[in-house]
Amino acid sequence: MFPFRPRILPGVEASVRCRHFSRVIELLPELQVARLDVAELFGRSAPLHVDLGCGDGSFLCEMAQQFPKRNFLGIERLTKRVEKVRRKAEKIENVRVLRADTLFAVRYLLPESSVETFYLLFPDPWPKRRHQFRRIFTRDFLDAIAAALEQHGVLRVATDQLDYFQQVERHQPCPPAISSCATVA
């Protein structure tokens, strides 16, 4: 079972494996576990920065405009947020957005050693004790990040929840493939 429900768009042939419409990547059923071809996706080879849980895309689009020689991929699970990002990024050439579960995308869709920087900004803190198992920041998550990062890659984490910050600290040191875990409280 996959953490998101891919949909076949009307008029798309079954033989089509992956297409992006207006810079939104749609995964079709037969491609659910194939790694993305980042150079083909962006039409160029450039350092890749990934915004995990990109929300409405404000940070993603701002960074893409400031650094036009880098590629920016936003990963967001919620369809309406993906639509907001798509609208904001229409005129920005170096932005793509992927509608998928974050851990699934990092673990199965991003090629190994392909990401220069990951951004995990203010993830859902799940403050109730009985919900904390849902938090994204786990050892499995760090292992998946480490596999996708380039050598000396960076994971930048920001949170305003002390409890979440302490959980991030408990996972220190980062796996050897991650040169630093920057945290902000």
- pLDDT digit string (tens) for 13-57? 443 444 444 566 655 555 556 899 999 999 999 999 999 999 999
What average pLDDT does the chain have? 79
Domain-by-domain residue ranges, the chain? 45-184
pLDDT reported for residue 169: 75
Taking the model in full, what pTM does it have?
0.76
DSSP state of 184: E
Hey, what CATH topology would domain 45-184 get?
Rossmann fold (3.40.50)
- pLDDT digit string (tens) for 124-166? 765 666 656 666 778 888 899 999 999 989 999 888 878 777 7
Active site residues: 124
- Comparing C-alpha atoms, which of 20, 101, 26, 89 is closest to residue 60? 89
Residue 85's contacts (CB-CB under 8 Å, 6 or more residues apart) are 54, 56, 57, 60, 61, 74, 76, 95, 97
